[in-house]
């Protein structure tokens, strides 16, 4: 009674049946997605062409829906085809089957080599898949599977969609699908069986036919004919009878007497292992009628040699080890090292010999004692031994990363001029090896400007290759540090003894190259200047002129025509220059004379400087005369402008930018930029006493001197000139510089380019480079060399797809390497692209060797085999012309026959016996071919279901049997009107 009197017991729940349930909302979402994708209504299209599944374009669209809190992804897979209104209208009619049902019976695209699994199993051109959104989610229970299938069926019925709709069930790795397709009065159910153990009746054609006939349950007698397509796949894994053609590099020969150092200028290429792991031969019987062949548990007519169609695909080894790729990868790892050269080789590697050098008590005696400066004969061996002594003070004799043989070989390769013992012979060779010859104008050579590396015949390029090889074969980072130390010592030796560096182009640093190459070119400029100055001090050389600093084309153009001896003077220096930057040579008489005209211009200055003796003249400037004295205008000997590397230019621009925009800052900036102009003005005044600013402008910048024809007082036409408007601006830079300039010849001026200071800066820069910095500098050269190597190897094989990839690599590298510090990720992408090309070329060579392309004597057959090999590289599956009787087919047959002779087949036989292969049928195939690794069968029929008077509808079953599993995928149609 207490329970009855409880007021809560009287409350009851009211269910509102007008509210949509989760299931109804789920169905509504499916219908909404199908509407959005415009999959409603009758589907139309052309019959499928042969091979369209492989050559055509597949696309997909995805969306996400949920059943309560369980998320599903809906994906629409479809083959892109051109719309054909005409064909569509013809197919529309009462008896027209939906397009997917027609595709079930189409035989043009059985066994596509690359397609979605549902395309391979059912031959569909379009379908929708509903699958759990998360990879680890799965629909396992039978009730949930039926609920999803019911949802699909209702959604298809409500929308009139004729596209098949599949639901993925069980775990995703099993690839289990059930689905449905609806049309006007017809329905197709898609069912699937997936087993681990194979029942014996499924291993042959007769058993599959029994299952198929039982499933469709046709009431007609006799049964309509069943069409069959059969494919047996054989796998060849054993290449023991074929040696891999790639020969490993002979490391001992790299430093041997026969090869010398030449091998150091080349990168290795090729795979260390066979890049082709398996060959899959598919033998196909595309159109067979029931009863033509016998295939049961006792006997089989399916002889691979008699198959009308053969197709081959190759399985490529995953990431095969390749020599060039390993070289690049190992060198790139250097970029991430943190150690300095001193930390790797031990401290004080660059110290002078003997502790007494650092002892302050010996400083005075060192300064006062006579020290003749001999010019020793250049010898790399002597340099190596002196460096070795310094290293061995801190390390044992046998602990040096590089032995003498390797080091000597590398240094002789980098500095071939060092092989000459005579200094005069060396000088002649150094002048020719410094890059006087014009570079070859071809695309490969000019790659350095795109990659910002260095020319392929330069010292920097060779150094990069040597360091790459040392890093891989001879000691890793320690060997790199050792070689770099020796290289810096060699640079110091050449600077101190005036020996030009070979393998570098003459002239200013090339800003198109990497910074390290620019630094070496700068050092060469310093050596050239120092050498010319030292020789000039001895009186063996006269002054030279490079033709002015920064004038217009007319300034430089007039030099060569008027003075045929100018070439002889090029490369000469000034006699009385000193190594001191601050020393300024001026004669007292010149100073006295300059008191009268130092700060004045025009005719007054000309009159007072008449008695000055002209100095530093190169040659007359054509027919030009000085305006006021009326004497010939002479081109002066001027200083060359200072060469600059890109880091110096950047540093200079930063300094100028920091001066600001104020008037004082702008004035100071103009003064800093006019040092070269001031030097040229002083040289011009010394060569042309009594000259004025107009005379200088006529030579230096002719466009700023405007000449016009005017009529004088007597009526005669005369030419009068005046300075341009910018030259007339009060207190402009040119006027100020002219008033400041004194008549001082170039040989007595302060040097614009202090080669001593710049050389020391370069040598210090080189000495402090860590192996990681060095690798960063030289990585563009290594990538450049790798691209050239790949192009060279591709030219032998002539693979069109590789040509396209190489162009992409060059384009990508040009964009990445153009910037000073490219990202590691982008560099890794470039290296990966180069490695992929190397692998493709290695695969081509492997296939050529296996198919005996080079050994084929018949030219026509050789071309056919070459095309066949190229197709194997570029296409997922290649048809064999002539099947087993063609040239390629006979070679494949021999490969399998030879593999069968290897006694390693016994374990395989036991495995097949355990997996259920009929023992009685094995001997017939095993004599020449192994048991098939895959067995695919497609059975089709047009049968009325479920009643004899129903419409004849397509029925299809696909069976695949492999060593791992067995799968049946069936599509069974039924008439929903007459049943």
DSSP string, 635-668: EEP-PPPPP--HHHHHHHHHHHHHT-SSHHHHHH
Range of lowest pLDDT (15-24, 109-118, 585-594, 707-716): 585-594
Query: Cis (ω within 30 of 0) for the bond into 781?
Result: no
Rg (the chain; Cα; Å): 43
Contacts of 796 by beta carbon, 8 Å cutoff, 6+ apart: none
Nearest to 175 by CA among 974, 741, 964, 973: 964
For 99, the token pair is: 């397009």
Asked if residues 101 and 953 have their Cβ atoms less than 8 Å apart, the reply is yes
pLDDT on residue 562? 38
User: Residue 550 above 80 pLDDT?
Assistant: no
Q: Global pTM?
A: 0.70
How large is the angle between the packed helices 824-851 and 859-874, nearest 10 degrees? 150
Asked if residues 625 and 533 have their Cβ atoms less than 8 Å apart, the reply is no
Selection from 455-464, 528-537, 573-582 with the highest mean pLDDT:
455-464
Helix (H) or strand (E) holding 38: none
Mean pLDDT to the nearest integer, 375-395: 46
User: Residue 185 above 80 pLDDT?
Assistant: yes
Give dist(CA 432, CA 438) in Å, integer: 11
Q: Mean of the per-residue pLDDT values for the chain?
A: 75
User: Residue 50 above 90 pLDDT?
Assistant: no
Mean pLDDT to the nearest integer, 797-822: 85
Mean pLDDT to the nearest integer, 957-969: 92
User: Residue 469 above 60 pLDDT?
Assistant: yes
How large is the angle between the packed helices 459-473 and 515-537, nearest 10 degrees? 120
Q: What angle do CA 937, 939, 941 make, to 5 degrees?
A: 170
Q: Exposed (0-12), middle (13-18) or buried (19+): which is 107, by Cβ within 10 Å? A: middle
Q: Exposed (0-12), middle (13-18) or buried (19+): which is 429, by Cβ within 10 Å? A: middle
Question: Where residue 941 falls among pLDDT bands split at 50, 70, 90?
Answer: very high
Is 126 in a helix, a strand, or coil? strand
Selection from 349-358, 436-445, 621-630 with the highest mean pLDDT:
621-630
Question: Where residue 579 falls among pLDDT bands split at 50, 70, 90?
Answer: very low
Nearest to 890 by CA among 305, 448, 322, 370: 305
Find the distance separating the first CA and the last CA of the chain, reported in whole Å: 60
pLDDT in tens, 125-178: 999 999 999 888 888 889 999 999 999 999 999 999 999 999 999 999 999 999
User: Residue 560 above 50 pLDDT?
Assistant: no
Is 127 in a helix, a strand, or coil? strand
Asked if residues 119 and 71 have their Cβ atoms less than 8 Å apart, the reply is no
User: Residue 603 above 50 pLDDT?
Assistant: no
In degrees to the nearest 10, what's the CA dihedral of 454, 457, 459, 462? Answer: 90
User: Residue 796 above 80 pLDDT?
Assistant: yes
Asked if residues 749 and 682 have their Cβ atoms less than 8 Å apart, the reply is yes
User: Residue 596 above 60 pLDDT?
Assistant: no
In degrees to the nearest 10, what's the CA dihedral of 789, 792, 797, 799? Answer: 80
pLDDT in tens, 837-855: 998 888 888 888 888 887 7
User: Residue 681 above 50 pLDDT?
Assistant: yes
User: Residue 962 above 50 pLDDT?
Assistant: yes
pLDDT on residue 509? 86
Question: Where residue 451 falls among pLDDT bands split at 50, 70, 90?
Answer: confident
pLDDT on residue 90? 46
pLDDT in tens, 109-128: 899 988 899 999 999 999 99
Question: Where residue 925 falls among pLDDT bands split at 50, 70, 90?
Answer: very low
Give dist(CA 664, CA 662) in Å, integer: 5
Contacts of 114 by beta carbon, 8 Å cutoff, 6+ apart: 54, 876, 877
Q: Report residue 489 CA to chain centroid gap.
A: 34
User: Residue 793 above 60 pLDDT?
Assistant: yes
Question: Where residue 887 falls among pLDDT bands split at 50, 70, 90?
Answer: confident
pLDDT in tens, 222-281: 778 899 999 999 998 876 555 555 555 544 444 433 333 336 677 888 888 888 888 899
Is 247 in a helix, a strand, or coil? coil
pLDDT on residue 443? 64
Asked if residues 927 and 955 have their Cβ atoms less than 8 Å apart, the reply is no
For 747, the token pair is: 């040989």
Nearest to 944 by CA among 186, 291, 182, 163: 186
Question: How many Cβ atoms sit within 10 Å of the Cβ of residue 661?
Answer: 8
Mean pLDDT to the nearest integer, 870-883: 86
Asked if residues 109 and 58 have their Cβ atoms less than 8 Å apart, the reply is no
Q: Exposed (0-12), middle (13-18) or buried (19+): which is 960, by Cβ within 10 Å? A: buried
pLDDT on residue 592? 38
Asked if residues 245 and 309 have their Cβ atoms less than 8 Å apart, the reply is no
Q: Which residues pair with 722 in a beta bridge?
A: 706
pLDDT on residue 63? 93
Range of lowest pLDDT (279-288, 304-313, 570-579, 734-743): 570-579
Please provide residue 915's backbone torsions phi and psi, each rounded to the nearest 5 degrees: -80, -5
* Chain position carrying tokens 């007319």: 554
pLDDT on residue 375? 41
pLDDT top residue among 878 and 565 = 878
Nearest to 546 by CA among 437, 354, 680, 442: 680
pLDDT on residue 853? 80
Nearest to 781 by CA among 450, 557, 548: 450
Length of the chain: 979
Q: Report residue 718 CA to chain centroid gap.
A: 67
Mean pLDDT to the nearest integer, 682-693: 84
Contacts of 448 by beta carbon, 8 Å cutoff, 6+ apart: 454, 455, 456, 461, 512, 513, 784
Give dist(CA 545, CA 565) in Å, integer: 11
pLDDT top residue among 735 and 228 = 228
Query: If you write DSSP's letter for every residue of 698-740 in order, what string do you get?
Result: HHH-GGGEEEEEEE-TTS-EEEEEEE-TGGGSTT-HHHHHHHH
Mean pLDDT to the nearest integer, 74-85: 82
User: Residue 283 above 90 pLDDT?
Assistant: yes
The domains of the chain are located at 22-81+97-227+938-975, 617-744
Asked if residues 898 and 930 have their Cβ atoms less than 8 Å apart, the reply is no
Q: What angle do CA 611, 613, 619 make, to 5 degrees?
A: 130
Query: For 822-841, b where at least 16 C-beta lie within 10 A, e where not — what string?
Result: beeeebeebbebbbbbbbbb
pLDDT top residue among 313 and 687 = 313
For 368, the token pair is: 């006062």
Nearest to 307 by CA among 234, 236, 237, 238: 234
pLDDT on residue 263? 62
pLDDT on residue 166? 96
Helix (H) or strand (E) holding 314: strand 309-316
pLDDT on residue 177? 95
Give dist(CA 410, CA 413) in Å, integer: 5
Instruction: Compute the half-sphere exposure of residue 146: CA atoms within 13 Å on the CB side of its CA.
Output: 3
pLDDT on residue 362? 52
For 752, the token pair is: 């614009």
Please give the DSSP secondary-structure letter assigned to residue 643. Answer: P
Asked if residues 186 and 124 have their Cβ atoms less than 8 Å apart, the reply is no
Per-residue 3-state assignment (H helix, E strand, C coil) for 456-504: CCCHHHHHHHHHHHHHHHCCHHHHHHHHHHHHHHHHHHHHHCCCCCCCC
Give dist(CA 71, CA 62) in Å, integer: 13
How large is the angle between the packed helices 404-414 and 459-473, nearest 10 degrees? 160
Please give the DSSP secondary-structure letter assigned to residue 263. Answer: G
User: Residue 372 above 50 pLDDT?
Assistant: no
pLDDT on residue 6? 54
Share of the chain above pLDDT 90, in %: 17
């Amino acid at each position: 009674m207490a329970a009855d009197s409880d007021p809560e017991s009287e409350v009851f729940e009211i269910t509102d049946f007008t509210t949509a349930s989760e299931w109804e909302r789920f169905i509504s979402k499916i219908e909404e997605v199908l509407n959005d994708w415009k999959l409603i209504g009758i589907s139309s299209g052309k019959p499928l062409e042969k091979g369209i599944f492989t050559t055509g374009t597949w696309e997909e669209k995805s969306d996400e829906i949920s059943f309560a809190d369980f998320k599903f992804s809906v994906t629409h897979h479809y083959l892109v085809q051109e719309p054909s209104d005409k064909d569509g209208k013809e197919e529309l009619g009462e008896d027209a089957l939906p397009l997917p049902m027609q595709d079930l019976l189409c035989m043009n695209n059985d066994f596509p080599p690359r397609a979605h699994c549902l395309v391979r199993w059912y031959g569909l051109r379009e379908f929708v898949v509903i699958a759990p959104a998360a990879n680890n989610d799965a629909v396992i229970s039978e009730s949930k599977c039926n609920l999803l299938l019911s949802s699909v069926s209702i959604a298809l019925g409500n929308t009139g969609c004729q596209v098949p709709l599949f639901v993925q069930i069980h775990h995703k790795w099993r690839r289990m699908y059930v689905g449905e397709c609806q049309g006007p009065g017809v329905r197709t159910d898609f069912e699937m069986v997936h087993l681990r153990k194979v029942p014996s009746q499924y291993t042959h054609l007769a058993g599959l036919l029994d299952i198929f006939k039982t499933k469709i349950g046709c009431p007609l007698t006799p049964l309509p004919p069943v069409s069959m397509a059969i494919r047996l796949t054989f796998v060849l894994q054993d290449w023991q009878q074929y040696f891999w053609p790639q020969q490993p590099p002979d490391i001992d020969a790299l430093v041997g007497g026969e090869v010398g150092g030449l091998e150091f200028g080349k990168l290795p290429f090729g795979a260390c292992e066979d890049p082709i792991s398996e060959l899959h031969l598919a033998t196909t019987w595309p159109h067979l009628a029931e009863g033509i062949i016998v295939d049961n548990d006792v006997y089989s007519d399916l002889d691979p040699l008699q198959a009308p169609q053969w197709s081959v695909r190759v399985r490529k080894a995953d990431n095969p080890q390749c020599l060039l790729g390993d070289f690049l990868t190992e060198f790139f790892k250097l970029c991430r090292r943190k150690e300095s050269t001193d930390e790797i080789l031990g401290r004080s590697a660059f110290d002078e010999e003997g502790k007494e050098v650092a002892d302050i008590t010996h400083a005075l005696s060192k300064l006062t004692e006579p020290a003749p400066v001999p010019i020793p004969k250049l010898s790399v061996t002597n340099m190596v031994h002196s460096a070795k002594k310094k290293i061995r003070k801190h390390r044992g004799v046998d602990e040096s990363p590089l032995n003498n043989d390797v080091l000597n070989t590398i240094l002789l390769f980098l500095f071939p001029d060092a092989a000459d013992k005579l200094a005069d012979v060396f000088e002649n060779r150094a002048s020719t090896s410094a890059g006087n010859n014009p570079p070859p104008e071809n695309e490969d050579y000019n790659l350095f400007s795109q990659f910002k590396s260095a020319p392929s015949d330069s010292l920097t390029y060779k150094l990069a290759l040597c360091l790459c090889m040392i890093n891989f074969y001879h000691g890793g980072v320690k060997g790199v540090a050792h070689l770099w130390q020796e290289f810096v010592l060699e640079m110091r030796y050449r600077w101190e003894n005036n020996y030009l560096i070979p393998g570098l182009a003459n002239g200013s640093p090339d800003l198109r190259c990497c910074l390290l190459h620019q630094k070496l070119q700068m050092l060469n400029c310093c050596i050239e200047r120092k050498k010319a100055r030292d020789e000039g001090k001895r009186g063996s050389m006269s002054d030279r002129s490079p033709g002015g600093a920064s004038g217009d084309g007319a300034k430089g153009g007039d030099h060569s025509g008027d003075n045929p001896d100018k070439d002889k003077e090029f490369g000469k220096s000034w006699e009385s220059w000193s190594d001191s930057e601050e020393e300024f040579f001026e004669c007292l008489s010149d100073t006295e004379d300059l008191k009268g005209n130092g700060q004045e211009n025009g005719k007054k200055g000309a009159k007072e400087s008449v008695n000055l003796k002209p100095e530093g003249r190169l040659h007359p400037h054509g027919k030009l005369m000085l305006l006021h004295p009326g004497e010939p205008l002479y081109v002066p000997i001027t200083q060359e402008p200072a060469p600059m590397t890109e880091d110096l230019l950047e540093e200079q621009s930063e300094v100028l930018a920091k001066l600001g925009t104020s008037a004082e800052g702008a004035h100071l900036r103009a003064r800093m930029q006019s040092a070269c102009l001031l030097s040229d003005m002083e040289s011009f005044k010394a060569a042309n006493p009594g000259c004025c600013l107009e005379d200088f402008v006529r030579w230096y910048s002719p466009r700023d001197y405007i000449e016009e024809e005017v009529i004088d007082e007597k009526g005669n036409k005369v030419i009068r000139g005046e300075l341009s408007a910018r030259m007339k601006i009060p207190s402009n830079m040119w006027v100020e510089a002219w008033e400041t300039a004194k008549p001082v010849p170039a040989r007595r001026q302060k040097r614009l380019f202090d080669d001593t200071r710049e050389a020391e800066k370069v040598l210090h820069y080189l000495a402090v480079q860590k192996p990681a910095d060095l690798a960063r500098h030289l990585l563009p050269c290594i990538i450049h060399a790798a691209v050239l190597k790949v192009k060279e190897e591709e030219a032998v094989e002539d693979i069109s797809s590789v040509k396209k990839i190489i162009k992409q690599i060059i384009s990508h590298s040009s964009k990445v390497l153009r910037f000073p510090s490219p990202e590691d990720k982008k560099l890794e992408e470039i290296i990966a692209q180069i490695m992929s090309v190397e692998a493709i070329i290695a695969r081509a060579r492997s296939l050529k060797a296996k198919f005996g392309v080079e050994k084929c004597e018949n030219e026509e057959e050789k071309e056919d085999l070459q095309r066949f090999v190229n197709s194997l590289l570029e296409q997922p599956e290649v048809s064999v012309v002539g099947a087993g009787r063609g040239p390629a087919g006979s070679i494949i047959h021999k490969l399998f026959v030879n593999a069968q002779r290897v006694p390693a087949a016994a374990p395989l036989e036991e495995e097949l016996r355990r997996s259920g292969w009929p023992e009685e049928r094995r001997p017939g195939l095993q004599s020449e071919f192994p048991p098939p690794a895959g067995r695919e069968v497609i059975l089709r029929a047009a049968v009325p279901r479920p009643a004899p008077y129903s419409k004849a509808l397509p029925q299809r079953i696909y069976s695949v049997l492999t060593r791992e599993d067995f799968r049946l995928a069936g599509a069974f149609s039924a008439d929903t009107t007459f049943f």
